[in-house]
Amino acid sequence: MDWTAAVDAYCERVGPDFWAEPLNALTNAAFLVAAFWALRHWRRQPYGDGAALALIVVVALVGIGSFLFHTLATRWAGLADVIPIAVFIHLYFFFAMRRILSVRLWLAAALTGGFFIAGLALGPQLGRLLGSSGGYAPAALAIFAVALAAWRSPALAAPLAGVGMLFLISLAFRTGDMLVCPSFPSGTHFVWHCLNAAVLYLLIRILMRSSGTAAAKGA
């Protein structure tokens, strides 16, 4: 496989130039802003939170990888785009099992592995309906599933459900990018970046809150 081969997958790109997707490229700054604000909150915590810090680093890598893909538009840059996103999804799922649902370590690891396998199996099927956005549908389902399972902790469950709704809206903009292309040449992928950055930030804040709740209970 030629990893340097060009990839043209978004409405905004009309040529091979570095800045052929200016909105898609520049809106990746939203992920860096999300990581920055999450880091500010992390520093204010009276206790260490390695899980949240790891996720903050991954969010920054999401922005960098996506920027590379929307400027260089090659297969290897595509990997730089999707790998950090996949890492965030599965790390967050594991931490949610441990911190929000208080699942034992071995079970959290097993559930995360099962979630990964289910995503691989369902992705192609969902892709028939949602195109390249099909791979993100399991993540949306997971957010709502965790929110439902955490119903006894409304301070966590309600915000999670709200973030799930925001994620569905952002996913709609990602899915509709090529559909609106004839009438809106810039497409809507850049809106996905902005909204999804907010989703990742809010998810980290919820995880931090779960850590604070656990610490308060321990005290």
Confidence of residue 12 (pLDDT cuts 50, 70, 90): very high
Please count the other Cβ atoms lying within 10 Å of the Cβ belonging to residue 166.
16
DSSP class of 132: G
pLDDT for 83 beyond 80: yes
All domains in the chain, ordered by first residue: 22-213 (1.20.1070)
pLDDT tens readout for residues 140-198? 999 999 999 999 999 999 999 999 999 999 999 999 999 999 999 999 999 999 999 99
Contacting residues for 25 by C-beta, under 8 A, at least 6 apart:
19, 67, 70, 71
Cβ atoms of 21 and 199 within 8 Å: the answer is no
Among 57-61, 64-68, 106-110, 209-213, where is mean pLDDT lowest? 209-213
User: What is the mean pLDDT of the segment spanning 125-134?
Assistant: 83
pLDDT tens readout for residues 130-140? 888 888 999 99
